[in-house]
Amino acid sequence: MPTFAKACETVIAIHAPNWKPGGRNEENWRSTLRDYVFPKLANVPVDAVTGTDVMAVLLPIWTTKTETAGRVRRRIGAVMQWAAQGYRTDNPAGDAISAALPNNNAKITHRQALPHTEVGAAIAKVRCSGAYRGAVLSFEFLVLTAARSAEGPRRDVGRDRPRGRQAEAGRSAPSA
Q: What is the CATH code of the structural domain delimited by 4-97?
A: 1.10.150.130
- Cα 65–68–70 angle (5° rounding)? 105
* Interval 66-95: pLDDT, tens: 889 889 999 999 999 999 888 988 888 877
C-alpha atoms less than 13 angstroms from C-alpha of 87 in its C-beta half-sphere? 19
Query: Average pLDDT in the 15-38 region?
Result: 88
Cα–Cα dist 69/116, whole Å: 39
Question: What per-residue confidence (pLDDT) applies to 165?
Answer: 46
Under 8 Å between Cβ of 30 and 15? no
**pLDDT (0 to 100) of residue 34:** 94
pLDDT value for 106: 60
pLDDT at 168: 45
Helices assigned H by DSSP within 33-65: 38-41, 51-62
pTM of the model: 0.61
Label residue 171 by pLDDT band (50, 70, 90).
very low
**pLDDT at residue 170 above 50?**
no
Mean pLDDT of the 100-107 span: 73
Give 155 or 3, the one with higher predicted confidence: 3
Domain residue ranges in the chain: 4-97, 116-158
Of the pLDDT bands very low, low, confident and very high (cuts 50, 70, 90), residue 109 is confident
What is the rounded average pLDDT of the residues 162-168? 46
